[in-house]
């Protein structure tokens, strides 16, 4: 599959590997339909190049190491990688959760992450349960000053609000979409109610309908083992993969009437409107080639 011509998609930063897994041995991956080769260069710095049609390698692409991930771009981003303030707080637990590959548009994965309505049915007895199936009203908006989508004042009943908790409660959640293929969740930390846990999902759109994603968590939790925190997130994410891979079409429709929204979908409606305003085509039914 050839690299996309969608300049909106090209002009963005993408996590393509866990930083610690970049070694001297060249490894290959795909981004936006383009084959890439990455490795440590002679000075020990991570480097990534496009693999051209004749098998030769292009010049080094821009790179960043941030949040335990190795980022690159195929274009000229006008914005930096999302700033996560919580990553700078030294007492937080940093939990990279590992990559999960999904046969779906990366935009579908973002939309699923924003969707609270599926909690009771997909994440039963973890993030939701019957009869607590109603999504109370919340506020979704495109914040023009920062060019991000936010959903605030979200509340939902969760049987297990964190790895540390066995009791259910109504939790307050805030969602943030700083770029089309990155989505974040902030939730009140049960053990420190004046602080928020921060969870970022970095998505690598490999092809129109194929992506992989890694949740990265910055938690205020001095009690749980690393394994418990990892298991809690991985169980949720693997449940999500089943749902995302079974959605049809695999690509995300941006036309308002393509899929029937409910009141609970206001964050999804804002997200789709934002993508359409940007002119993003990659990973959508409008096509990105």
pLDDT per residue as tens digits for the range 190-213: 778 888 989 999 999 999 999 999
Is 133's pLDDT higher than 90? no
Among 19, 25, 77, 29, residue whose Cα is nearest residue 49: 29
Query: Which pTM does this prediction carry?
Result: 0.88
Cβ–Cβ under 8 Å, residues 132 and 124: no
pLDDT per residue as tens digits for the range 61-118: 999 999 999 999 999 999 999 999 999 999 999 989 899 999 999 999 998 888 765 4
For 159, phi then psi, to 5°, come to: -65, -35
Would you state the torsion angle of the CA atoms of residues 99, 148, 207, 95, taken in this order, to the nearest 10 degrees? 0
Fold of the 7-72 domain: N-terminal domain of TfIIb (2.20.25)
CATH number, domain 85-278: 3.90.380.10
Beta strands in the chain (DSSP E): 14-18, 27-31, 34-40, 46-51, 57-60, 63-66, 69-72, 93-96, 100-102, 139-143, 148-158, 169-179, 182-189, 192-207, 210-219
76 forms bridges with which residues in the sheet?
Answer: none
d(CA 260, CA 137): 18
Domain boundaries, the chain: 7-72, 85-278
DSSP letter assigned to residue 173: E
Is 288's pLDDT higher than 70? no
The pLDDT value given to residue 123: 39
């Amino acid at each position: 599959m050839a690299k996309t011509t969608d300049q909106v998609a090209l002009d963005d930063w993408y996590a393509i590997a866990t930083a610690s897994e970049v070694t001297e041995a060249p490894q290959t991956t795909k981004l936006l339909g383009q084959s890439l080769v990455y490795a440590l260069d002679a000075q020990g710095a991570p480097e990534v190049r496009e693999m051209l049609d004749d098998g030769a390698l292009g010049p080094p692409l821009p790179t960043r190491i941030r949040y335990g991930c190795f980022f690159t771009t195929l274009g000229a981003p006008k914005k930096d990688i999302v700033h996560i303030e919580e990553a700078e707080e030294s007492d937080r637990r940093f939990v990279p959760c590992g990559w999960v590959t999904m046969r779906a548009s990366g935009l579908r994965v973002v939309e699923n992450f924003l969707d609270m309505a599926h909690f009771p049915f997909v994440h039963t007895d973890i993030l939701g349960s019957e009869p607590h199936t109603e999504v109370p009203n919340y506020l979704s908006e495109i914040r023009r000053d920062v060019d991000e989508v936010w959903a605030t004042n979200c509340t939902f009943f969760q049987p297990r609000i964190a790895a540390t908790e066995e009791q259910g409660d109504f939790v307050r959640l805030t969602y943030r979409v700083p770029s089309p293929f990155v989505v974040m969740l902030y939730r009140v930390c049960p053990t420190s109610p004046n602080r928020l846990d921060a969870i970022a999902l970095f998505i690598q759109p490999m092809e129109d309908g194929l992506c992989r994603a890694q949740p990265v968590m910055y938690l205020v939790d001095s009690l749980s083992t690393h394994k418990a925190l990892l298991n809690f997130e991985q169980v949720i994410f693997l449940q999500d993969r089943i749902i995302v891979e079974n959605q049809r079409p695999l690509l995300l429709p941006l036309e308002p009437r393509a899929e029937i929204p409910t009141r609970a979908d206001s964050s999804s409606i804002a997200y789709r409107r934002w993508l359409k305003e940007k002119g993003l085509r990659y990973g959508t039914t409008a096509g990105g080639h």
